[in-house]
Structure 1
Amino acid sequence: MATRQPEFNFPKGGLFFIILGVAAIILFTKATVTIGPGEGGVIFESLGDGIDTEKTYGEGFHFMMPWNKMIVRKVRQQSISDEMNVLSVNGLEVKVNGTIWYEPEFENLGKLIKTKGQDYERELLDPAINAAARSVVGRYTPEQLYSSKRDVIEQEILEEVQGVLKDQYLSVTRVLVEDVKLPSTIRIAIETKLKQEQESLEYEFRISKAKKEAERQKIDAEGKAIANKILSASLTDKILQEKGIDATLELSKSPNSKVIVIGSGKDGLPIILGNQ
């Protein structure tokens, strides 16, 4: 005998509430957005004028009209690195590896995206960096690029980039030139020249040190000569007699001395005989 399955009666109006619930979930998902740390967002009004340039949304949970879209971008300081082929002042091609730190202006994020698009690094930042690097590097020789002018070049590139990006809603805070690659023959020649210059400086330092020591000894000798001259001029016969008497008294006190005074010597000083 077959077992009769229990009947399930779907509640009246249940399908309507299911559809309504699904629609509510979709609506809630479309109408909310969470902006993460270090990010900012601007609303794209699908039924309006596009990007809302008046307000930038910060970190946290936000509501919006479900037919709009929130465009979220990083607004904290970021960096990009690149290698550029540029020409030095004498026309030699060099490769410059550099890093640049930048950040969009938070309050003007909507204006930045509206005027330059979401990919504003490629549209705005890259051309500015390349133009500034070519302009600045083109003022220097390969030797200056390779050795002594690195800090100056970084500052000049930074100033030029900042000038190009003025009023463009994008701030550049620092430029770092990490490496300058020259053709091997040029690099070896520069390194050899720098080594020779260093050796020359060391040689000049040793010569200078020797001259200073000779000058010191000359001054010392002249000082002693002057002192002796002054001393000789101050030693009168009377002072010599007094010093001779003092010396005689000191010798007479010595246990190792045998002193016999007989008459007097020249200048009235006693004659002292010892067992030398």
Structure 2
Amino acid sequence: MLLIILGVILLIVGGVFKRTPSINPAYSPIISIVGVAMLLLGLSFSVFKVIDPGKVGVKTLFGKVDNDVLPSGLHLINPLVDVTTFDIKTQNYTMSGVTTEGQKEGDDAIRILSADGLEVTIDLSVLFRLKADQAPFVLQNIGPDYVDKIVRPVSRTAIRDNAVYYEAVALYSTKRQEFQDKIYKTIGESFAKRGIELQQLLVRNITLPQSVRTTIESKINAEQDAQKMQFVLQKERQEAEQKRIQAQGIADYQRIISTNLSDKQLQYESILAQKAVALSPNTKVIIMGNSKGAPLMLTDK
């Protein structure tokens, strides 16, 4: 459009120079030729419009937005029409406490107050895309900077509004998925009213206050110590039971022996023991007999 305006101006100037006797008439054709060239070049740029892949174009004529969307490709349009392009691919908007992440420099994490009055820090990533057929509505009602006007404030507000119903420890552990589902629904509904589709919501990190983290670590350590003690006690009970069974076995054996053995059986067992000693290669002296008188037998082996 600028080239067209400049070309028209140069053509007018060339005509003025041609009709002004005090100005060298040789300048007029040169100015006119440059004006025509710029006019033709501007018309070529204005008549043909290329929309890149993953984008759509919205036409505006004298401030009026056309509801017909230009898809990606080459288009022949009115040279007086302005075309605003919108990205309809999936976009990622991250709000993180890590200074090298996200669209904003520095710490951009979301700080909220939980139901128990503790400050919790949340890192969030929002995956979204602009609906192609809603691009004219966005241009007319929000503008090309819809990310800063809608995506960022709506996401941060939804986090804060829903976090007040949860205690800090619950957000960190048992209620984390429930919390994520709730804010997904809230943000998704708000985006849909404005021509934006929420595709995924990632609660990347939840940081609790240091005092709460210390309490949780102490509780975990105590639970681990209790589990360890439980294991030790169980092992000791098993060992005690094993010893009790062994003692019971010995007692039963002694009771059976004292009850059932006779003198003849004891004499027979003594003879077997003496025989085993006599057959031993290390035997030097063998004493045989009983309490009534026993001969002494010497062997040399």
TM-score of the two chains, using structure 2 as the length reference: 0.61
Q: 1:79–1:250: structure 2 CA closer, same or farther, 3 Å change rule? A: farther
Could you report, residue by residue, the CA deviation over 1:214-272 in whole angstroms, capped at 9, with x for unpaired residues?
122134335545666887899987x999999998887676533468695799xxxxxx9
SS in 2 for 1:156: helix
Q: 1:123 aligns with which of 149, 171, 179?
A: 149
Could you report, residue by residue, the CA deviation over 1:109-158 in whole angstroms, capped at 9, with x for unpaired residues?
34444443322223332342133112221012344456765554334322
Does structure 2 retain, via aligned residues, the 8 Å contact 1:83–1:97?
Answer: yes
Between the aligned partners of 1:190 and 1:167, the Cα distance in structure 2 is 39
Between the aligned partners of 1:273 and 1:191, the Cα distance in structure 2 is 85
Corresponding residue of 1:136: 162
Q: 1:233–1:167: structure 2 CA closer, same or farther, 3 Å change rule? A: farther
- Cα offset, 1:200, TM superposition: 1.8
Could you report, residue by residue, the CA deviation over 1:1-39 in whole angstroms, capped at 9, with x for unpaired residues?
xxxxxxxxx9xx9987765443222111112334445x3
Instruction: Give % identity.
Output: 17
One-letter amino acid of the structure 2 residue matched with residue 65 of structure 1: N
- Cα offset, 1:43, TM superposition: 2.6
RMSD of aligned Cα (Å): 4.5
- Cα offset, 1:210, TM superposition: 1.4
Name which of structure 1's ranges 20-29 and 151-160 shifts more when overlaid on structure 2. Answer: 151-160
| 1:72 matches 2:85 | yes
SS in 1 for 2:144: coil
SS in 2 for 1:125: helix
Q: 1:262–1:133: structure 2 CA closer, same or farther, 3 Å change rule? A: same
Does structure 1 retain, via aligned residues, the 8 Å contact 2:58–2:135?
Answer: no
| 1:44 matches 2:59 | yes
* Paired residue total: 251
Q: 1:22 aligns with which of 26, 38, 42?
A: 38
**What are the residue-to-residue correspondences of 1:112-261 with 2, within 5 Å?**
112-145=138-171, 150-166=176-192, 168-172=194-198, 173-180=200-207, 187-224=209-246, 254-257=280-283
Q: 1:121–1:18: structure 2 CA closer, same or farther, 3 Å change rule? A: closer
- Cα offset, 1:94, TM superposition: 5.2
SS in 2 for 1:52: strand
Does structure 2 retain, via aligned residues, the 8 Å contact 1:133–1:157?
Answer: yes
Query: Structure 1 stretches of 5 or more lacking a match?
Result: 1-9, 182-186, 266-271
Does structure 2 retain, via aligned residues, the 8 Å contact 1:40–1:73?
Answer: yes
- Cα offset, 1:103, TM superposition: 1.7
Query: Structure 2 stretches of 5 or more lacking a match?
Result: 1-25, 96-107, 292-296
Corresponding residue of 1:4: none
Between the aligned partners of 2:118 and 2:39, the Cα distance in structure 1 is 66
TM-score of the two chains, using structure 1 as the length reference: 0.65
One-letter amino acid of the structure 1 residue matched with residue 196 of structure 2: L
Between the aligned partners of 1:27 and 1:197, the Cα distance in structure 2 is 74
Does structure 2 retain, via aligned residues, the 8 Å contact 1:150–1:177?
Answer: no
